[in-house]
Structure 1
Amino acid sequence: MGRISMRVAVVHSFYRSDQPSGENVAVLQQVGALRNAGIEILEVFRSTDEESEAPLYKVRSAISVATGVDFGHPQRAISEFAPDLVHVHNTFPNFGTRWLTKLQIPIVTTLHNFRASCANGLLYRDGHICLECPTSGSKAAFVHGCYQGSRAASLPAAISTAGGAKGNRLLKASAAIITQSARVHSFMIQQGIPEVRLHLIPGFVEEIHTQVTEPPTIPRFIFVGRNTPEKGLAELLQLWPTELQLDVVGSNEMAPTLHQGKNNLGNLGVRQRAWIMEHLPNYTALVFPGRVWEGAYPLVVREALEAGIPVVALADSGAADLITDFDVGAIYEDGSASQLLSGLGATINGGQRLRLHAREVYKLLLTKDKWVSEMGTAYKHARAMGVGS
């Protein structure tokens, strides 16, 4: 593809390194892809690991989140760089946003979560999807202590989301807003964001595999993710059929009460991404029981399609939408062991045909070249829209 002649300042607040973040990984990969396409990049980055060492960090970050005030001067470096546009990924909790809205430069914002409408960014509370703040106001975030289980910690986020996505300072100033799944795209339209400014561009996955392997002779399935409530591992293990093998990657321990007497469950612990990518083709399918909508098509789901394996996912999620829209696996309803078993059987019966189709969907939607091309179009649109769109 052709080179893109442009200068872009990329703004991102990195989450703590001791908490694995697919968003942090995605931002670095995307910056690399833009550079390889010929775009000059200025990295305007702040790290929670570093920022949290400063005196009064919690006070300053709370003020920044609640009011948009920034205690640094990032606009100086941006002005010297003189970019064609500013691309914002995440400002929480280390950047204010007022300085961004004062720049006389078009802004592009990529949405990685639901932070503009929800204090914890997940639209998830007490084991279920929660739309209370987007529909009834952000006071609920304070009442329920939705951020870190604390009312005090939730107050700044509740203040910042008081106007919902439509009233969000940064989104109002953005000439282009990148959504990374159909579900997020629809949600933002429902929240009052003008559709003309929304661009649906799923994140890419680097191409690792050159061919699609045959499915294993003995069916075998894999779960990849942390053992946290929203990932749904506990509920999956309760439903898992005894006649099929499931390997769990990403959790150092599984609940002993769920593991007892189940010899068909393998706990492989935490593995590096390179190991996961290498071994995905050895499985019949990926199982994704995530209980939240996700701010993008989940990375491991995209990696599965790149590896040419189908996905079985819990219904009512971004992963389930991808499966339904492109027929790359099966979905099951929450609590239904029979539907889970049926979905697993469908991926077994789909065999090589389904694996080849999964790979074709990857090539259609999720390659780096596809992403760079669509981002180039979004950037041109943002420049045409101008400042204060």
Structure 2
Amino acid sequence: MHVMVVHNRYASAQPSGENKVVDQEVALLREAGHRVGVFERRSDDIAARSLPAKAAIPLLVPWNPAVRARLAERLRAERPDVVHLHNVFPLLSPAVIAACADAGVPAVATLHNYTQVCPPGTLHRDGSPCTACVGRAPLPAVRHGCYRGSRLATVPLAVSLSVNRRRWWWSGVERFFCISAAQREVLVGAGMPAGRLVVKHNFVPETPVRRTGPGEHLLYLGRLAEVKGVRLLMAAWDELAAAGGVGVPLVIAGTGPLEAEVAAWAADRDDVRCVGLYDRTRCREAVAGAVAVVAPSTWKEAFGLVVVEAMAAGVPAVAAGHGAFTELVEDGVTGLLHRPDDAGSLAAALRGVTADGDGNREMGRAARLRYERGFSPEVGLARLEEGYRAAIAGRGGADPSRGDTHTGSRRGDLRERDGGSR
């Protein structure tokens, strides 16, 4: 198949699971022999823009006509079989869906978060879960300034959601990939078209490094933000330290808005190491060297990439018992779940995962088996191809992976002029 991937890359200063997923899927498709083009914008490029250009960005968040024209032109020139949409904020906008319609190319979209029903995409506000905008106009988000604590910054997102979700997202996308069943349940409940929502978990590439011993540390790997449970983790670790510790240090790898606070908390401790942002190789080594990976998010994660990366390395996870974690981690089998927002419960889980060496090793083996059956590249490729074929068939187009031709359709006519399937 010929696939066009559309993505607005997040800033490189902070780790982005979405950027990682996009890069991994592009590489996977190319390795499988599919032709993959990429149409992207980079948030890193905003800094180099002129002041008037920066000031205009919020106006283009709901709709960017220049992007529509450029993408449509490229689609007409390259004639892909399907377009795969990822993040479109802030430089692309839902105008990319109109570009697909202009060029007559079916679109699928991976929903990496909850932006279809919540302007900041988190279902979280002021340290607690929030569904005030789910299934209704996103006025509460504006009132509370849910995006970056700013009402002004939240307005473009709220406008885009109100104007575009039914007119373009819900009617212009053939198939939505939900990255967990928990996410799909929320979106269906909010009124999204259930028949177009399918669960396609993110896959994780095979890791060249797996755990071989008991592990040397507990590992938090991710963005240092409150919604990720960083403050909860610090409180739980204080509780453990007061009781004598767990025998291994806590390694905190990442950057984010709480970086200074975390560094100050860890400064005078010999049981915590703040190591900053790791590159890919060091991330793999840190995961493979862990007794367990810790994912204590206070918001309901739509997925949990670090948990699956731990599975691939044969490492169990300690995760919050809500959102996607409840379908990724089988409590007591591939890891441990703690009560969300409960420092005492998290401390007990961390104590448990480090105290029983034989049980930990057994959970690591079960986690690896879970990865092989549900999150390997082979599984990920099959689910991508299935979704693309369904989207192409939904438009009445040909399925190039099967050599089909539909000469009665516009896409079939293009295929005949192009000499058959690519």
TM-score (normalised: structure 1): 0.89
Aligned to 2:196: 197
Aligned to 1:385: 394
* 8 Å CA contact retained: 2:117, 2:187: no
Aligned to 1:339: 345
Unaligned runs of 5+ in 1: 1-5
Aligned to 1:273: 280
* 8 Å CA contact retained: 2:14, 2:223: no
Matches within 5 A, 1:59-78: 59-67=55-63, 69-71=65-67, 72-78=69-75
Q: Does 1:122 align with 2:122?
A: yes
Match of 2:230 among 233, 258, 271: 233
Q: 1:319 to 1:69 in 2, by over 3 A?
A: same
Measure the CA separation in 2 of the matches of 1:161 and 1:188.
14
Q: 1:257 to 1:18 in 2, by over 3 A?
A: closer
Measure the CA separation in 2 of the matches of 1:269 and 1:90.
26
Q: 1:164 to 1:75 in 2, by over 3 A?
A: closer
Q: 1:256 to 1:377 in 2, by over 3 A?
A: closer
TM-score (normalised: structure 2): 0.82
Matched to 2:147, the amino acid is Y
Q: Does 1:351 align with 2:343?
A: no
Aligned to 1:134, the other structure's residue is in SS state coil
Aligned to 2:131: 131
Aligned to 1:73, the other structure's residue is in SS state helix
Measure the CA separation in 1 of the matches of 2:283 and 2:174.
37
Per-residue CA deviations over 1:112-155 (Å, capped at 9, x if unaligned) read 11112222121221111211111442011211111222222211
Per-residue CA deviations over 1:259-295 (Å, capped at 9, x if unaligned) read 4775422323332221121132322111111122233
Q: 1:65 to 1:326 in 2, by over 3 A?
A: farther
Q: 1:364 to 1:233 in 2, by over 3 A?
A: same
Matches within 5 A, 1:151-170: 151-162=151-162, 167=166, 169-170=168-169
* 8 Å CA contact retained: 1:209, 1:306: no
* 8 Å CA contact retained: 2:307, 2:328: no
Measure the CA separation in 1 of the matches of 2:25 and 2:288.
25
Aligned to 1:248: 252
Name the stretch that deviates more: 262-271 or 355-364: 262-271
Measure the CA separation in 1 of the matches of 2:280 and 2:335.
22
Measure the CA separation in 2 of the matches of 1:261 and 1:19.
25
Name the stretch that deviates more: 48-57 or 241-250: 48-57
Aligned to 2:148, the other structure's residue is in SS state coil
Identity of matched residues, %: 28
Aligned to 1:11, the other structure's residue is in SS state strand
Aligned to 2:418: none
* 8 Å CA contact retained: 1:142, 1:151: yes
Q: 1:379 to 1:260 in 2, by over 3 A?
A: closer
**CA-CA distance at 1:329 after TM superposition:** 1.0
Q: 1:75 to 1:52 in 2, by over 3 A?
A: farther
Aligned to 1:20: 15
* 8 Å CA contact retained: 1:173, 1:387: no
Aligned to 1:294: 301
Per-residue CA deviations over 1:39-98 (Å, capped at 9, x if unaligned) read 111211111223554443345432332246445522101110011111111111111324
Matches within 5 A, 1:166-185: 167=166, 169-185=168-184
Q: 1:168 to 1:132 in 2, by over 3 A?
A: farther
Larger Rg: 2
* 8 Å CA contact retained: 2:119, 2:154: yes
* 8 Å CA contact retained: 1:212, 1:356: no
Per-residue CA deviations over 1:286-338 (Å, capped at 9, x if unaligned) read 1111122233x222111111111111112223224421479421111245444
Aligned to 1:29: 24
Measure the CA separation in 1 of the matches of 2:321 and 2:198.
25
Aligned to 1:316, the other structure's residue is in SS state coil
Aligned to 2:13, the other structure's residue is in SS state coil
Aligned to 1:3: none
**CA-CA distance at 1:225 after TM superposition:** 2.0
Q: Please identify runs of 4+ aligned residues in structure 1 that moved more than 6 A.
A: none
Match of 2:374 among 359, 365, 385: 365
Matched to 1:233, the amino acid is V
Matched to 1:62, the amino acid is P
Matched to 1:176, the amino acid is R
Provide the alpha-carbon RMSD of the alignment: 2.5
Q: Does 1:47 align with 2:42?
A: yes
Matched to 1:121, the amino acid is G
Q: Does 1:113 align with 2:117?
A: no
Measure the CA separation in 2 of the matches of 1:189 and 1:326.
30
Q: 1:179 to 1:325 in 2, by over 3 A?
A: farther
Measure the CA separation in 1 of the matches of 2:81 and 2:149.
41
Aligned to 2:318, the other structure's residue is in SS state strand
Q: 1:17 to 1:327 in 2, by over 3 A?
A: same
Matched to 1:226, the amino acid is R
* 8 Å CA contact retained: 1:328, 1:357: yes
Measure the CA separation in 1 of the matches of 2:315 and 2:66.
45
How many residues align? The count is: 379
Measure the CA separation in 2 of the matches of 1:294 and 1:268.
24
Aligned to 2:221: 224
